[in-house]
């Protein structure tokens, strides 16, 4: 076994307890209803699964990006099936505004999705002031204010935002599944 393989095996052993804990978290949040979930668009299911697996494996940025991707695709699908035109070219904000107007999401849910969208945009689009660096320094200052011996673990800077993103997407799809808004054969009602 070469050094790279050994290092990967050591990392797997060391990281396994944390991955298992995060998998159990998702299992607690995301209780799939009887009959399961149906996704009308294959990529919606892929994006939601990848958001959850990214969270479990500590790929925080991927979890944030794919969680919103799943939500955007589903909202676009619902709007298209309700007769909206050009949903393929709508921004996430426009999709959300139309979904709110159509009654596909409530005001509180739209506010949560907006927070996720803003968080995603801060990482997906260039900003002169990196959100990652700002978050890291805020965590560093908080740790030192509490007389901690060490600052934040750089690998966990985005953990809270990733967890929130995956929880929000999971909750959205549980409601959509319960209300049959993810059934590929049914059209959402407005």
In which band, very low, low, confident or very high, does the pLDDT at 27 lie, cut at 50, 70 and 90?
A: confident
Q: Which long-range contacts (CB under 8 A, 24 or more apart) does 80-84 make?
A: 81/40, 81/187, 81/188, 82/187, 82/188, 82/190
Which tens digit of pLDDT belongs to each residue from 98-131? 999 999 999 999 999 999 998 898 888 887 888 7
Question: 132 and 157 in contact (C-beta within 8 Å)?
Answer: yes
Residue-level length of the chain: 190
Average pLDDT value over all residues in the chain: 84
State the pTM of this model: 0.80
Which tens digit of pLDDT belongs to each residue from 61-70? 999 999 999 9
Which tens digit of pLDDT belongs to each residue from 160-174? 889 999 998 888 887
Report all structural domains of the chain as residue ranges with CATH numbers, in order of start.
40-126+158-178 (1.20.120)
Helices 107-124 and 60-81 sit at what angle, rounded to 10 degrees? 130
């Amino acid at each position: 076994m070469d050094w790279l393989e050994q290092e990967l095996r050591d990392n797997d052993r060391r990281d396994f307890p944390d991955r298992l804990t995060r998998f159990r978290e998702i299992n607690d949040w995301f209780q799939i209803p009887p009959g399961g979930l149906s996704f009308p668009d294959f990529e919606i299911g892929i994006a939601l699964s990848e958001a959850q697996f990214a969270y479990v494996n500590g790929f925080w940025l991927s979890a944030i990006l794919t969680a919103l991707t799943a939500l955007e695709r589903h909202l676009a699908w619902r709007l298209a099936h309700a007769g909206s035109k050009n949903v393929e070219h709508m921004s996430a904000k426009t999709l959300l505004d139309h979904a709110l107007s159509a009654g596909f999401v409530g005001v509180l849910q739209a506010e949560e999705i907006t927070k996720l969208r803003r968080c995603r945009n801060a990482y997906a689009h260039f900003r002169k002031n990196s959100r990652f660096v700002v978050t890291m320094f805020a965590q560093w200052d908080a740790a030192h204010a509490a007389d901690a011996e060490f600052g934040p673990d750089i690998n966990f800077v985005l953990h809270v935002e990733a967890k929130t993103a995956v929880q929000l997407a999971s909750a959205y799809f549980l409601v959509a599944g319960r209300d049959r808004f993810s059934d590929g054969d049914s059209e959402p009602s407005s």
